Amino acid sequence: MVAITIKDVAALAGVSVATASRVLSGNPATSPDSRARVAAAVTELDYRPNAQARALRSTRSDSIGLLVSDVRNPFFADLAHTVEQAALAAGYVTLLGNANERKEQQDRYLDTLISRRVDGIIVAPLGEGSGSIRSLITREIPTVFVDRTVDGLDIPSVTTDSEAGIRQAVHHLAAAGHTRIGYISGPQATSTGRDRFAAFTRAIAAAGLSQDPELVYFGDYQAASGSAGVHALLQLREPPTALLAADSLMAVGAIAILHKLGRRIGADIALIAFDDIEWFALLNPALSVISHSVEEMGRIAVDMLLQVIDGGEPESVVLPSELIVRASSSTPTSPASGPSLRTN
């Protein structure tokens, strides 16, 4: 099929290419007659402008990039959905990429987004700011960090104050009598991994609980490392009686292996996850979580990026987190009356 171009539209409407373009761009310097004729020609020919040609001439592509760690993680799936809807409402299409928690893939995707001349990029960064993250700065590409940041890079960001939620969680577990709390940490190559670990360390010290370094397992934010972490921690000479997982996917892995090992969550061992996933409340026992609003995060990230694209310099935003106590971290009850998560 031969492509319909703006030349065909202009010819059918009986105007010049420049006038047709002005009409389609909403330029007011056009007569009502020209507008009507061009609109009729567009409809008759089912014409769609070529976005590549537009972007090439106009220096903007009306698209933004969003690079997340893994769209299968419900937190990032929700974030992607919110960002995409907010961007679409502002006239931008979102190009979504997955880094799979790997720096090489992060770099590859960022290069792709740069090559496609997206108007801006929202990214949950991994690593210390070398590679393609550095290129974003060098090229002055409008950028907003979401959820995570890179030390030393002055990029506007929207993140979570994990300190508050983690402090509440540790305090809650201490009040329930736990003295050895196992922590399944995120990767130290991510700011969230570092921040949440540091917050955990401070909260443990403040609560006067055991600071045995063996109580910390360094995972990679994937479900499998959640399972491996629980497995390692439960093999300690003095295993923890409570667990705190630094993200939802690792919590899923933790639940699966506790299930497999016949350990009853809530009764035998307490479990709290960072990130509130909708279905965590449907588990039995329902999972205690450190909650923050992923929707708000996504909306703010888009607002900030639009400001940066327009030449503004938005202030970074830190959102609150809070503990939501459910049955998985409540005081153990007697087996006869307590709900449990057991092997079927």
Partner DNA sequence: CGTTTCCATGGAAACGATTCCATACAACAC
Partner DNA sequence: GTGTTGTATGGAATCGTTTCCATGGAAACG
Give yes or no for residue 44 binding DNA (CB under 7 A): no
Q: Does 167 bind DNA (CB under 7 A)?
A: no
Work out how close the CB of 47 gets to DNA at its nearest, in angstroms, rounded to a whole number: 7
Is 17 among the residues that bind DNA (CB under 7 A)?
yes
**CB contact set of 233 (below 8 Å; sequence gap of 6+):** 182, 184, 215, 217, 239, 240, 243
**Which one of its own copies, DNA, none is in contact with 227 (Cβ closer than 5 to 8 A by kind)?**
none
Q: Report what 34 binds from DNA, its own copies, none; CB cut-off 5-8 Å by kind.
A: DNA
Enumerate binding residues for its own copies (CB under 8 A).
1, 46, 48-53, 55-56, 61, 70-72, 74, 77-78, 80-81, 84-85, 88, 93-98, 100, 108, 111-112, 114-117, 135, 138-140, 223, 252, 255-256, 259, 278-279, 281-286, 326-327, 339-342, 344
Residue 74's binding partner out of DNA, its own copies, none, with CB under 5 to 8 Å set by partner kind: its own copies
Nearer to its own copies (CB atom), residue 7 or residue 72? 72
188: contact with DNA by CB under 7 A = no
Task: Please say which residue, 29 or 336, places its beta carbon nearer to DNA.
Answer: 29
Residue 25 binding partner per list DNA, its own copies, none, with a CB distance cut-off of 5 to 8 Å that depends on partner kind: DNA
Shortest CB 249 distance to its own copies, Å: 10
Contact, 96 vs 80, CB < 8 A? yes
- Residue 299 interacting with DNA (CB under 7 A): no
Task: Return the exposure string of 250-281: e unless at least 16 CB atoms fall within 10 Å of the residue's CB, then b.
Answer: bbbbbbebbeeeebbbbbbbbbbbbbbbeebe
CB 181, min distance to its own copies, A? 22
Residue 21 found at the interface with DNA (CB under 7 A): yes
- Write down the least CB distance from residue 194 to its own copies, Å: 26
Among 11, 41, 50, 131, binds DNA (CB under 7 A): 50
Q: Compute the Cα dihedral for 264, 270, 272, 273 and give only its sign.
A: negative
Residue 31 interacting partner from DNA, its own copies, none (CB closer than 5 to 8 Å by kind) = DNA
Binding site for DNA (CB under 7 A): 3, 5-7, 15-19, 21-22, 24-25, 28-31, 33-34, 47-50, 53-54, 56-58
